[in-house]
Amino acid sequence: MKEEKNKVFKEAEGKVTSQIAAEEALSIAIYNEESALDFYTRLSEVITNQSGKEKFRLLASDERRHRELLENYDKKLTDGEDFPFDPTKVRRIKVGVRDNTTAFEALDLGIKAEKEAYQFYIKSSEEAKDPEAKRMFLMLAEQEDRHYNILTAEKQALTGQFYWFSLDTPGIMEH
């Protein structure tokens, strides 16, 4: 993942210590995924470009799926109990988007948020002693890195820097 020194989006919150258990790690991750879902949903609502709206809706859908996977895993660890979700614990990410925000600027917002989430999950995996928590954080880091790479490739396609496919091929998220 490319290093960038820009605005921090604070997607990933929660204190991770070496004693963190799988259940606590899941709780942090569930709230982070809900935060990301909220971020991409709001981003898709404020930009006017229809293609951009669809791209960010797709990412929101991915974050929803991540949350559902985590909640199902939590249910398995807690003998079938539903996760006690508290909407007041969801951290809202500020979306610095104006009516005239370009697709390039919107992609930058997503790239920065995914980078921060990736870094949080990597650090969390290093700090966690519980093997299940470590595996879960690494899986989440991989997913956030995939989102980062998708958004970065789309940004490169918009700026004409992406020649992996044919020059006539639309951005990778166009379909």
> What DSSP line would sit under the chain, residue for residue?
-----------S-----TT--HHHHHHHHHHHHHHHHHHHHHHHHH---HHHHHHHHHHHHHHHHHHHHHHHHHHHHTTTPPP---GGGPPPPP----TT--HHHHHHHHHHHHHHHHHHHHHHHHH--SHHHHHHHHHHHHHHHHHHHHHHHHHHHHTT---SS-TTS--TT--
Domains of the chain: 22-158 (1.20.1260.10)
- pTM here is 0.71
The pLDDT assigned to 9 comes to 36
pLDDT tens for the chain, residues 1 to 175: 544 433 333 444 555 555 566 677 778 889 988 988 988 898 888 877 787 788 889 999 999 998 998 898 888 878 899 999 898 888 776 666 665 566 777 788 889 889 988 998 898 888 887 788 788 889 889 999 999 998 998 888 887 765 554 444 454 444 4
The pLDDT assigned to 34 comes to 92
